[in-house]
Amino acid sequence: MILRAVECEKRYLKTMDKRPIGFFDSGMGGASVLRVAIRMLQNENFIYYGDNGNAPYGDRSEAEILALTSSAADFLLEHGVKALVIACNTATSASINVLRDKLDVPVISMEPAIKPACMCDGDGKVFMLATEATTHIRRYRALLERMPDPSRVISIGCSGLVDRIERGIVEDNAFDDILDEHLSKYHGIKADAVVLGCTHYPFIASAIDCYFEKHFSGEHRLYDGSMGTVSQLNRVLKRSGLENDSGTAQVEFFTSGDAESLRPIFKRFLTMPPYENK
Ligand code: DGL
């Protein structure tokens, strides 16, 4: 009798908010975060919006990025999302405070994973690779200043990588020319950590790893922020009673670009297994 009462109560406590969770990125990058969310939150529905028509954001001004991100957020809210994940470091840096003030759903952000990277042992450097915009925007500079030794971090804007990844290119040796352009002056330095500070980069984690292996000394590890962001999303859903406890993950894809040619790339990225450090 008592058991049955407990069971009833449990059933009553289950939440069933079937509304989707919105995921946003300037293009395909957010799929690296969404693939983690799909694994961790298997009952949730997702709507992904990639602003591929306006990507890359990384070479744009802060004001432009804010305007584009705000209209993307409006698009997702019109589609009835119960929470919004800005799965883009660049868009987060430029817009998160404005979005949180303006929207009445929880907004989950993304930031380069320099916190865990700076906690790693060693006397080598932490290389933080991101878009040009992320490295300059105040939000990232403030995060950097909060690190125990900001001078350990070398922040590098890697223009050019996103354009190539957007075309579905991820092969190991396909990025050496761009990486040389941004990193050759640091060759030979000891690297303890490499932060993938743009959500597009996890798709070329292996290419970046090989590049550092070839040109830098030290036993570097790769860090990316997707797991941290999805764990935060999970906490927010629970805390706000927004979880969907029963159902199967559905993903709907929207883009401001050419959906027909982009959908297959999106699907391939979504099913690529996350890179594991050796
Ligand atoms: N994926 C985005 C990020 O995490 C930026 C890509 C772009 O330049 O549009 O920063």
> Is 118 domain-assigned?
yes
Count CB neighbours of 206 within 10 A: 14
209: Cα separation from own chain's centroid: 18
The answer to whether the predicted template modeling score (pTM) of the entire model surpasses 0.85 is yes
> Is 276 domain-assigned?
no
Residues 85 and 135 occupy one common structural domain: no
| Residue 41 φ then ψ, to 5° | -120, 70
Confidence check: pLDDT of 95 > 80: yes
Q: Measure Cα distances from 146 to 7, 94, 111, 114, 248 in Å.
A: 47, 19, 13, 10, 40
> Is 278 domain-assigned?
no
Residues 11 and 58 occupy one common structural domain: yes
Cα-to-centroid distance, 50 and ligand 1 (Å):
11
Residues 22 and 76 occupy one common structural domain: yes
Residues 105 and 232 occupy one common structural domain: yes
Residues 15 and 89 occupy one common structural domain: yes
Q: Which atom of ligand 1 is closest in space to residue 58's alpha carbon? A: 8
Q: Measure Cα distances from 203 to 32, 98, 161, 231 in Å.
A: 7, 29, 11, 20
Residue 10 — very low, low, confident or very high, per pLDDT cuts 50/70/90?
Answer: very low
- Tokens 């800005």 label which residue? 86
Confidence check: pLDDT of 6 > 50: no
Residues 38 and 64 occupy one common structural domain: yes
Residues 231 and 213 occupy one common structural domain: no
Residue 247 — very low, low, confident or very high, per pLDDT cuts 50/70/90?
Answer: confident
pLDDT of residue 84: 98
List the catalytic residues: 88, 198
**CA-to-CA distance for 96 and 251, rounded, in angstroms?**
24
Confidence check: pLDDT of 114 > 80: yes
Number of domains composing the chain: 2
Which of 24, 34, 200, 201 to mutate to test ligand 1, by most ligand atoms within 8 A of the CB atom? 200
Q: How many residues does the chain have?
A: 278
Q: Which domain holds residue 153?
A: 114-223
pLDDT of residue 73: 98
Range scoring the smallest mean pLDDT among 14-23, 112-121, 184-193, 234-243: 14-23
Which of 51, 54, 57 to mutate to test ligand 1, by most ligand atoms within 8 A of the CB atom? 57
Ligand 1 residue neighbourhood (C-beta within 6 Å): 25-27, 29, 55-58, 88-90, 131, 134, 162, 198-200
Residues 244 and 187 occupy one common structural domain: no
Confidence check: pLDDT of 9 > 90: no
Give the per-residue SS3 of 19-67: CCEEEEECCCCCHHHHHHHHHHCCCCEEEEEECHHHCCCCCCCHHHHHH
Instruction: Please provide the average confidence, as pLDDT, over all residues in the chain.
Output: 94
CATH assignment of the domain containing 25: 3.40.50.1860
> Does residue 118 sit in helix, strand or coil?
helix
Residues 265 and 137 occupy one common structural domain: no
252: Cα separation from own chain's centroid: 18
Residue 16 — very low, low, confident or very high, per pLDDT cuts 50/70/90?
Answer: confident
